[in-house]
Structure 1
Amino acid sequence: MLAIAGGKGGSGKTTTTLGLASALDGPVLAVDADRDMPNLHTMAGVERRDDGGASDAVLEPTVHQHPTDQTVSVLPAPSGTDDEAFEEWLESIAADDRTTVVDCPAGAGPDAATPLRVADGVVVVTPLCAPALRDAAKTAAMARALGTPVIGCVVTRTRVAPDAVAELVGAPILGTVPEETSPVLTQPTVQAAYRRIVDNISGKK
C-alpha cells in the first residue's frame, strides 16, 4: 500500500493518486482515506455510496470501476466509521491482492496518521510554495515517526524542482508534474510525468 500524502489541501494529492494509479501496471485500487473532505470519487467520476463502513464487507460492495481506465478501481472513503473501524478498514484493504494507492487527508492530525501507519511507503506531494513545502516536511517527519518509509516527493504545478526540496523533505524528488488545463489527467504531458514518477518509484524498491 502506497500512501499519497501532503500537508496542505489542494497540493495535488488526489490528482497524484489517480495519476499514479493509471500509470502503474494494473490492476490497481485507488482508495480515498479522507473521511471529512473526500473528493477522490468526484475526480474519478464515480459515486460515493454509504455502506456504513462495515469492515467485514469493505471492498467489493463499494468498489467502482474507473470510467475511463479499466485497470483502475476506485474505493471512496467510508462514512460513519470510528477511528478503530477506519484503521481496520484500511488494514483489510492492505491485504488486497491489487496494488493500492491511498489518497490521505491533509495535515498532521490523527486522521492523516492512520493511513500513513498502515501503508508500506509514503509519497509526499507538494507545490513549490513555502507554506506547502514546510507542511510537506512535517508530513514526511510524521511518516518516519510512525515507522513508514518516505519513498520520495512529487512536486506539482512545475516542470523543474530545486534540489532544496529534497533536502527539506528528506527524500528524493521522484518527479515533477506540470501545470495544465483541466481535466488535468487527460493531458499527455501530465500522463507522461506520472509514468516517469512510477518508473522512479519502481527504482526505489
Structure 2
Amino acid sequence: MLAVAGGKGGAGKTTTTLGLAAALVRQRRSVLAADADREMPDLHAMAGVARDPGLDAVAAGWPPRMVAGIADEPAPGVGVIPAETGPPTADRTPPETGTPLGRVRGCADAALFDCPAGAGPDAVAPLRAADAAVVVTTAEPACLRDAAKTAAMARELDTPVAGAVVTRAADPPDGVGRLLDAPVLGVVPEVEIEAAVTDDASGGKPLSSERVRAAHDGIVSALQPKYL
C-alpha cells in the first residue's frame, strides 16, 4: 500500500494517485485508490464515481471492493473509495488493520492513498497505514520545502519514502533527491493550458494526455518490484 503524499495543496497528489492507479490497471492489475482527505475530497470527482459510500462504510464493516466505485475515463478500471464524510471513525494512532485504510490491505493487487496536505492527524493516518510513501511536489521552492517536511514526517512514522514525483515540469530541479533524501521516480510534464487541471474536479484532463500517461507508466516501473 502506497501513500501519495505532499506538504502543499495543489502539488498534484490526486492526479498522481489516479494516474499511478490507471498505469497499474494498464498492466492488468487490480487497484484500489482511497481518498484519505476528508477536508478536501476530490478523488471521487476526478474519477467520476459517486461520493457515497466511502471510507465510512469500510469503517462500518463493508468490504472495500464493494464500497469502491469503478472509474471510467480518464482512469478506466480503477476502484475508487471516496473519503469519509463525517468525523474520523477510527483512532488515528496505531497502524492496525481494523482502521478503514488498514482494511484495504489485501483487497486488490495494489492500493494507493490520496493523502491530505499538511502534518495534522488526517495526514498522519495514511502514512501510518501505508508500506511506503511517494512524495509529490512541483518545482517551486515553497512546495519543495513542504515536500521535505512530508518526507521527514513519513520517516518519523517508520514509513519509508519510495521516492519523489515532480509535477508540471520538464526536468526535476537540481538537488531534489538530496533535499528529500529519496530518488526522483519521474517527472510529470505540464500539459496544454486548457487541460492543465491538477487536483481539480473538472474532468482530470491531464490524465488524458499521452505524455502524462507515459510519465505515470514510467513511475510505476520505477516503483516495481520493491513497492508494487
The answer, yes or no, to whether TM exceeds 0.5 is yes
Report the Cα offset of residue 71 of structure 1: 3.1
Amino acid at match of 2:72: P
Contact map agreement 1:58 1:89 (CA 8 A) in 2: no
Q: What is the rounded CA distance, in whole Å, between the counterparts of 1:51 and 1:198 in structure 2?
A: 26
Larger displacement relative to structure 2 (195-204 or 106-115)? 195-204
Amino acid at match of 2:12: G
**Residue 171 of structure 1 corresponds to which residue in structure 2?**
182
**Residue 71 of structure 1 corresponds to which residue in structure 2?**
77
Q: What is the rounded CA distance, in whole Å, between the counterparts of 2:112 and 2:174 in structure 1?
A: 26
- 1:194 equivalenced with 2:222 (yes/no): no
Report the Cα offset of residue 80 of structure 1: 2.0
Contact map agreement 1:23 1:194 (CA 8 A) in 2: yes
Report the Cα offset of residue 95 of structure 1: 3.5
2:130 to 110, 119, 134: 119
2:41 to 38, 59, 66: 38
Larger displacement relative to structure 2 (81-90 or 145-154)? 81-90
Report the Cα offset of residue 60 of structure 1: 3.9
Larger displacement relative to structure 2 (136-145 or 26-35)? 26-35
Amino acid at match of 1:71: G
Query: Identity of counterpart residues, as a percentage?
Result: 50
Contact map agreement 1:105 1:112 (CA 8 A) in 2: yes
Report the Cα offset of residue 145 of structure 1: 0.2
**Residue 17 of structure 1 corresponds to which residue in structure 2?**
17
Amino acid at match of 2:215: A
**Residue 104 of structure 1 corresponds to which residue in structure 2?**
115
Q: Which has the higher helix share?
A: 1
- 1:29 equivalenced with 2:32 (yes/no): yes
Distance 1:58 1:107, change over 3 A: farther
Contact map agreement 2:69 2:80 (CA 8 A) in 1: yes
Look up the SS of the partner of 2:17 in the other structure. Answer: helix
Distance 1:60 1:203, change over 3 A: closer
Q: What is the rounded CA distance, in whole Å, between the counterparts of 2:137 and 2:180 in structure 1?
A: 10
Report the Cα offset of residue 98 of structure 1: 3.1
CA-atom RMSD in angstroms: 1.8
Contact map agreement 1:53 1:81 (CA 8 A) in 2: no
Report the Cα offset of residue 52 of structure 1: 8.0
Report the Cα offset of residue 97 of structure 1: 3.2
Q: What is the rounded CA distance, in whole Å, between the counterparts of 1:97 and 1:187 in structure 2?
A: 26
Q: What is the rounded CA distance, in whole Å, between the counterparts of 1:159 and 1:129 in structure 2?
A: 13
Which contiguous aligned blocks of 4+ residues in structure 1 show a shift greater than 6 angstroms? Answer: none
Look up the SS of the partner of 2:34 in the other structure. Answer: strand
Contact map agreement 1:126 1:153 (CA 8 A) in 2: yes
Amino acid at match of 1:187: S
What do residues 44-83 of structure 1 show as CA deviations (whole Å, max 9, x unaligned)?
A: 1111014681421152443101113443111111222425
Distance 1:64 1:50, change over 3 A: closer
What do residues 129-183 of structure 1 show as CA deviations (whole Å, max 9, x unaligned)?
A: 1110000000000000000000000000001013401111110000000011321
